[in-house]
Amino acid sequence: MNRLILIIVLAVIGFTGCKKEMKSDNPFFSKWDTPYEVPPFDQIKADHFMPAYLKAFEEQKDEIRAIINNKKEPSFDNTIRPLEYSGQLLTKVSRVFGALNSANTNDTLQAISMETAPLLSRHRDDINLDDNLFQRVRSVYDNRDKFNLTEEEKKVLDNTYKSFVRNGAALSPGDKEKLRKINEEHSLLTVKFGQNLLAETNDFKLVIDKREDLAGLPESVVDQAAATAREMNMDGKWVFTIQYPIMEPFLKYSEKRDLRKKLFTAYFMKGDNDNERDNKDIIREIARLRIERSRLLGYDSYAHFVLERNMAKTPERVFDFLKEIWEAALPVAKAEAAERQEIINREGGRFRLEPWDWWYYSEKIKKEKYDLDDELLRPYFRIENVIDGMFHVANKLYGLDFSVRTDIPKYHPDVRTFEVTRDGKHVGVLMIDNYPRPSKRSGAWCGAYRGQSRDIRGRMITPVVTMVTNSTPPGDDKPSLLTAYEAETLFHEFGHALHQLLSNSTYPGVSGTSVPRDFVELPSQIMEHWVFEPEVLEVYAKHYRTGEIIPAELVDKLEKAGKFNTGFNTLEFLAAALLDMEYHSLTEPMENLDIREFEKQILDKYGMIPEIKPRYRSTYFNHAWSGGYAAGYYSYYWSEMLDADAFQAFKETGDIFNREVAARFENEILSRGGTRDPVDMYVAFRGKEPGIDALLINRGLKSGM
């Protein structure tokens, strides 16, 4: 950012205080004296962010200038290391702002996000496109064999050099300017996409004022809807939203087909209502910019650009991988659809199965086949107990202990905070934030207010990790009681948390979850395997009223129903993953791209059945357009190929808590972050590369040996 722009922005926000005043007024300008230097959320105000960002930009630019002006021959110690540690204030501000803007946003934070997006893009480009800096980095890279680097340092150097090239450092001056404009416009559009999606999600409400329209709904679902209505000053009514934990039980149990259709359609049409929050034009522009950027950098498509650094390497390999699973799942899904249509016909329904019917009739079949539904399980899945269960697993595997801390600042009353220790020594801080609210985006994720690393003097920096879900909230007289899927989601995000908590890297750029996108889900998804293991259920699955451990016959039913609906679950995911890949494999900008028609063509191409819709349609596909998973949504299944095989390492010993295998998983994968190639890490753990068979067997799409 040039000096004139800085002066203008400072004038607009009234930032005129001196350096001493900044330190006393703005929490970002002084060391935090909270326990473990957790952000002082009670002191941080919205108007602190912009001054902090601006100061952080200037600090990092000073650090970059010092690297460039160093008269000594470029080396790892005088170029790569200081570059890796530069911008610490910017990282600090960005992590806090990004986490709050996702989990507890408001109009002010959203406005700041739009304001800072182009500034951040410009700042990154100022660094990435600086030729003097790049020449020093390239000199170190070209002479890397003479620096006696550690394995981690070699990886940091390789990442740094390739990052500069992939971000345009080797382009001509004219092309660098083109890239700057593309990056700035792209940054604004991705922010706007997410903001539109949040607004669309919050806007829709299905308001019911007749008790007969609640037919079929369990008491717990009705009570929650009444509580939601009271929160919205609609006493005596019932409100259902398109937040997933509220929508899903309605679709499963409501006997009112017209209302199921209304709710599902509102969910399915998010961002596609031709209003001021419509995302179709934004998608078209993001896709165009990504194609232009990729071609400018010498790649055939954005997918080629992204996948070069992932395990899969090429779009062709991803498409082959997804198609193999698709071909196994499609006939299963067709059979499931026929089975649901059969029930409709048997009950005298004179209609064809539609997407808003799938959950309802699936629940009937599950009840008929297995005498099981989520309402039977919910009383045993009190959220506090599920959290205790995942802590128990982490203790048995890795020796971690979790203690509640009430003296640590938190950003919202819903947050629960834990200190994590091992053998009495502090490991990190874990914050868990579980319930939906208008200020929180949908979905579930894990992040960090501070990542693990060692500072430039070698001192350990411990992580502050945050786990965020949108789980079923407590009712007036009931605690939060989860579905089996929600319990699985908690364990999933906890796996990401463990990846960060057990990281043992030196450099921040390769610590924790700083790994290729199609490897990052391995630690999260392997944790899902413990959720319903009988040994684990005995620990946490206790009736919230009686304390009774979940009965063995219910566990048996749960196990038998484990592969139920697998065709549907697989196909709806793969449809979204294929949409993502098809968009990002385009090699020419399509100015008149019709988003709805493109979706239809792709789904028809693969033979998608009309009774199932993609898990994410384009207009609310946050992973692809705003969430960092562009040309990467496939990675959940790629990682499932890994985690299905990896869990076998435990099962083969006859002990799912085998400490020797757990130590190997920690030492070779969790603790290493991105310090090695992921294939090498996996082979070091497992002794071989994984194959797709374990995934197909795990999903019930192929018989086991």
Q: Write down the pLDDT at residue 591.
A: 82
Whether 23 shows a pLDDT value over 90: the answer reads no
Question: How high is the mean pLDDT of the chain?
Answer: 95
Q: Write down the pLDDT at residue 2.
A: 42
pLDDT tens profile 159-188: 999 999 999 999 999 999 999 999 999 999
The sheet that has 400-404: what strands, in order across it? 400-404, 416-422, 425-433, 464-468, 445-450
pLDDT tens profile 238-285: 999 999 999 999 999 999 999 999 999 999 999 999 999 999 999 999
Q: Write down the pLDDT at residue 328.
A: 97
- Give the mean pLDDT of 34-59: 98
397 alpha-carbon distance from chain centroid:
24
How much of the chain exceeds pLDDT 70, in percent? Answer: 96
3-class state of residue 653 by DSSP:
coil
Could you confirm whether 153 is annotated as catalytic?
A: no
Whether 15 shows a pLDDT value over 60: the answer reads no
Q: Write down the pLDDT at residue 4.
A: 34
Of 453, 408, 404, nearest to 33 by C-alpha is 408
Whether 374 shows a pLDDT value over 70: the answer reads yes
pTM higher than 0.85? yes
pLDDT band at 475 (very low <50, low <70, confident <90, very high): confident
Residue type, 457: R
DSSP one-letter string for 89-121: HHHHHHHHHHHHHHHS--HHHHHHHHHHHHHHH
Q: Please name the residues in contact with 141: beta carbons below 8 A apart, sequence gap of 6 or more.
A: 157, 158, 160, 161
- Give the mean pLDDT of 542-562: 95
Of 552, 568, 556, 531, nearest to 370 by C-alpha is 556
Domains by residue range for the chain, with CATH: 3-128+130-170 (1.10.1370.40), 204-268 (no CATH), 280-372+566-625 (1.10.1370.10), 379-562 (1.10.1370.40)
Q: Please name the residues in contact with 503: beta carbons below 8 A apart, sequence gap of 6 or more.
A: 451, 452, 463, 511, 512, 670, 671, 673
pLDDT tens profile 635-666: 999 999 999 999 999 999 999 999 999 999 99
User: Do the beta carbons of residue 100 and residue 467 sit within 8 Å?
Assistant: no
Whether 56 shows a pLDDT value over 70: the answer reads yes
**Full 3-state SS string of 137-174:** HHHHHHCHHHCCCCHHHHHHHHHHHHHHHHCCCCCCHH
**Residues 431, 100: Cα–Cα separation, whole Å:** 13
User: Do the beta carbons of residue 668 and residue 548 sit within 8 Å?
Assistant: no
pLDDT band at 623 (very low <50, low <70, confident <90, very high): very high
Q: Write down the pLDDT at residue 17.
A: 37
Q: What is the sign, positive or negative, of the torsion defined by CA atoms of 695, 700, 701, 703?
A: positive
Active-site entry in 184, 185, 419, 493: 493
Q: Write down the pLDDT at residue 3.
A: 36
Q: How many Cα atoms are found within 13 Å in the side-chain-facing hemisphere of 500?
A: 27
